[in-house]
Amino acid sequence: MKKIKVQGGYEKGGYEFNTLETPANETYLVESFHEYKIGNDTYWHGYIKGNTIQKKKFPLDANPRKPGPTKVVRIMQAMIQKDPANFHHLNNGMTIIAKNLTYNELQKEITIEFGSTSGIHGDGVCNGGHTYFSIDQFQGEIADEMLVKIEVLVLDSTLDADLRSAKIKEIAEARNAHNELESITTAHYSGFYDNIINILGVKSIYFKWYEGDPNAIRNAEKVDSLIAKITSISPHWYSHYLNTSGNNGNHMSSARNTGSTHKKWETFKLSDDERNLDYILPLLNDILLLMEEISYSLLKDDFQRIGKKWRSTKFWQYLSSKDPIELNFKTIGGQKLKGYDLSHTFMTMVLGAFRENVWFSMGDNGVNLVGWLIDPITLWHKHKETYMRDLNSIASTINAPSFGNAFLQNPAIYNSQFTSYHFGVNVTDSINRPEVIYQIDTNTKYLIDKTNIGTFWLECDVIDPELPPMAELITHEKPNLTRYLISNN
C-alpha cells in the first residue's frame, strides 16, 4: 500500500489517500460477477463489497486526475454512513483496468492482477476515483451490505507496452469525458508536459500538472499559466525581429487569456510547429529566476528616479496592494526572500517585454540553438527604471473604478521591448554575439567568454537580416568569431 499526501497531508492542511502499488495481485469479496468477451478484451461486471475496497485498496495509475475531498465526496461519505444498503443504487461505481482476473464463484471472490505502469498510463481505477476516495478515507467501519458497482476491463494480452498504454489512455479519457476534465489534465495524460517536467526536475512541485496532483505544493501555480507565460516570450508566438513572417503583434492575449492560449498550444504540440515551445524550454529555468528577480526588485529596489512621488502613484499602490510572498527560487546566503505577489497578467506582460532578447538559430533540422542576447536579469536591472517609468506614464492616464483591470486591458503596455532600450534600432547588429546560448539537443549552456580561454566558437551565417541565422558552435577557432565556454550552472 502507498500513502499519497497532497500538500503535506492532513497534518499540514492538505489531504491524503491510500493506493495499491503495482504490479500486484489482490483478492476482493464480491456479491456477483459476470464475464463478457468482446474481441480480444474481457469485460467483467458485478458488485464488490465496499468494506473490501476499504481494506484492500486499488491502484489509481489509470486515472487521468487524482481524487480529492470535494463536495461530491462528502455526499458519498454521508451515504456510506446513513444508507449503505442503497449505495449501489445512487452511485455510478468504478471502472478498473487490469492485466488479468479470476473469479471464484463458490467463494465469491475475484483475484485481480495489476500490471506495471508504462509511462503514466497504468492499471487500476480509470473512472470513479472519487468513489474510491470516499471509501478509502471514510472514518469508520463500512457496513457489510454496502455494495459498489464495478467493471473490470482485462485488455488484450497480446498488446505490447506502448499499444496497451495508448489504449488505457484512450479508455480513461473517454470514460472521464462527461466529467469535463480540465485541459491541463488531458494534456498531462497525453504526455505534453513531459519535456517541461524533465527540465524543471525538483522544481516541478511548484506547479500543478493535473487535477488532484499530489506532488504539487500548496498554492502551486497551474501549469496552463506557466505555458501562457512562456508563449509571451516566444519569437514564434508574437512579433520578433527574427520571425517577421510570423508577426502576430504583442502578447496581450497570453497575459489575459490563459485557457485559450493553452488550448492553442495543445494543437501545436501535435505538430512540428515551433509554437509547441519545445525549443524554448532550455530557457525555462532562466525565466523562472527572472520572474522572481522582477518580483523581488519591485519590492526592494529604489525607483525614485521615476519621480519624487513614485510611491504615491496609483501604479505603485496597485503593485503593493497584496502582502509580499515568499519566493521559491531566489535566495541570498541560503535564505529565502520575499517579493511582490504579482498577478499572472502583470508578470506575463513584463516577461513578454524580454521576447526580442531571445535569440535562436537554425540548423539542418530546424532550430538548433537558443539563448539570450543579454543576460535577462542584467538587462532588467539596466533598464527597469525606464521600463517602469513608461508603464507609469500610461497608468497615470487611467481614471477608472478598477485601476488594475483598466491598466492591464490597455494594449499599449504590451508594446515595450527591453532590447529597444538597450540597442535602439540596431538589435540585429548583435545577432552573432548572444551572451548566453543553449544547445537544444543536449541542453548544454554556453556563456560568452570574456577571459579568452573558451574552447568553443559561434559560427553564425546571417543570410538575411530578417531571417534567423544559420549557426553552430564549433571547436576550432576561426577569425572574427565569438568565443564561448561551457557553464556549469
* Residue 190 domain flag: no
**pLDDT value of residue 309:** 79
Tell me how far apart the alpha carbons of residues 91 and 87 are, in angstroms, rounded to a whole number.
6
Q: Please tell me whether residues 280 and 359 are part of one structural domain.
A: yes
DSSP 268: H
Asked if 352 and 444 touch (Cβ cutoff 8 Å), the reply is no
Beta carbons within 8 Å of 182's beta carbon, 6+ residues apart = 65, 210, 211
- Please, what is the average pLDDT of the chain? 89
pLDDT in tens, 170-192: 888 787 765 666 888 878 877 88
Q: What are phi and psi of 16, to 5 degrees?
A: -155, 165
CA distances from residue 62 to 166, 174, 177, 204, 482 in whole angstroms, order as listed: 11, 12, 14, 21, 51
Q: Give residue-wise pLDDT tens across range 150-174.
A: 999 999 989 888 888 888 888 887 8
Mark which of 150, 181, 212 sits at the end of a domain: 181
CA–CA dist 416, 353 (Å, integer): 6
Cell 508574437 belongs to residue:
238
| Residue 187 belongs to some domain of the structure | no
Query: Which of 72-76, 132-136, 328-332 shows the highest mean pLDDT?
Result: 132-136
Q: Do 136 and 218 lie in a common domain?
A: no
- Taking 60 as the threshold, does the pLDDT of residue 477 lie above it? yes
pLDDT for residue 246:
55
Helices (H) and strands (E) in the chain, counts: 16, 20
Task: Judge residue 177's burial from the number of C-beta atoms within 10 Å of its C-beta, 0-12 exposed, 13-18 middle, 19 or more buried.
Answer: exposed
Same-domain pairing of 363 and 419: yes
442-473 tens-digit pLDDT: 999 999 998 888 899 999 988 887 788 999 99
Identify whether residues 364 and 457 lie together within a single domain. Answer: yes
In this structure, the answer to whether residues 41 and 130 fall within a common structural domain is yes
Q: Tell me the pLDDT band of 125, cut-offs 50, 70 and 90.
A: very high
Reported confidence tier of residue 306, pLDDT bands at 50, 70, 90 = confident
pLDDT of amino acid 179: 62
In the predicted model, what is the mean pLDDT of residues 412-426?
91
Domain boundary among 131, 155, 181: 181
Residue 191 forms part of a structural domain: no
pLDDT of residue 241: 86
Residue 416's pLDDT is what? 94
Q: Quick one: 268 and 391 in the same domain? A: yes
Neighbouring C-beta atoms of residue 250, cutoff 10 Å: 21
Whether residue 221 sits in one domain with residue 149:
no
- Do 148 and 225 lie in one domain? The reply is no
pLDDT tens-digit series, residues 23-49: 999 999 999 899 999 999 999 999 999
- Number of separate domains in the chain: 2
User: Is residue 42 included in any domain, yes or no?
Assistant: yes
pLDDT at 79 over 90: no
Describe the chain by its helix, strand, coil percentages, rounded to 5. Answer: 40, 25, 35
C-beta atoms surrounding 273 within 10 Å: 13
The DSSP symbol for 210 reads S
Q: What residues contact 242, with CB distance under 8 A and at least 6 apart?
A: 235, 359, 360, 431, 466, 467, 468
pLDDT at 120: 67
Question: Which of 181, 209, 224 represents a domain boundary (last residue)?
Answer: 181
The whole-angstrom separation of Cα 50 and Cα 147 is 5
pLDDT class for 436, splitting at 50, 70, 90? Answer: very high
- 215-264 confidence digits (pLDDT tens): 888 889 999 999 999 999 999 999 998 876 655 678 999 999 999 999 99
What domain range includes position 34?
2-181
Q: What is the pLDDT of residue 464?
A: 81
Q: Are residues 173 and 225 in the same domain?
A: no
- Report the C-alpha gap between 393 and 406 in whole angstroms: 14
Residues 282 and 224 in one domain: yes
- For residue 40, report the phi and psi dihedrals to the nearest 5 degrees: -95, 5
172 in the same domain as 225: no
Long-range contacts of 284-288 (CB under 8 A, 24+ apart): 284/196, 284/199, 284/200, 284/230, 285/199, 285/200, 285/203, 286/372, 286/376, 286/436, 287/229, 287/230, 287/233, 287/351, 287/376, 288/203, 288/328, 288/329
Residue 270, all three cell numbers:
501535435
Quickly count: other Cβ atoms within 10 Å of residue 477's Cβ. 11
Beta bridge partners of 38: 41
**Coil/strand/helix, residue 422:** helix
192 falls within a domain: no
CB 141: neighbour CB atoms within 10 A? Answer: 8
pTM for this predicted structure: 0.74
CA distance 87 to 77: 10
Q: Tally Cβ neighbours within 10 Å of residue 55.
A: 11
Phi-psi region of 233 (alpha: psi -120 to 50; beta: other; left: phi over 0): alpha
User: CA–CA separation, 356 vs 185, rounded Å?
Assistant: 32
Cell 449501489 locates to 88
Residue 370 has pLDDT above 90, yes or no: yes
What pLDDT, on the 0 to 100 scale, is given for residue 320? 87
Distance separating alpha carbons of residues 333 and 399, to the nearest angstrom = 43
In-domain check, residue 434: yes
397 & 434 share domain:
yes
Rg for the chain (alpha carbons), in Å?
Answer: 27
Question: Average pLDDT for residues 78-88, to the nearest whole number?
Answer: 89
Do residues 319 and 480 touch, judged by C-beta distance below 8 A? no
- Residue 194 counted as domain residue: no
The answer to whether residues 70 and 191 touch, using CB atoms and an 8 Å cutoff, is no
Residue 278: inside a domain: yes
Q: pLDDT by residue (tens digit) across 307-360? A: 777 778 888 889 888 899 999 998 888 888 999 999 999 999 999 999 999 999
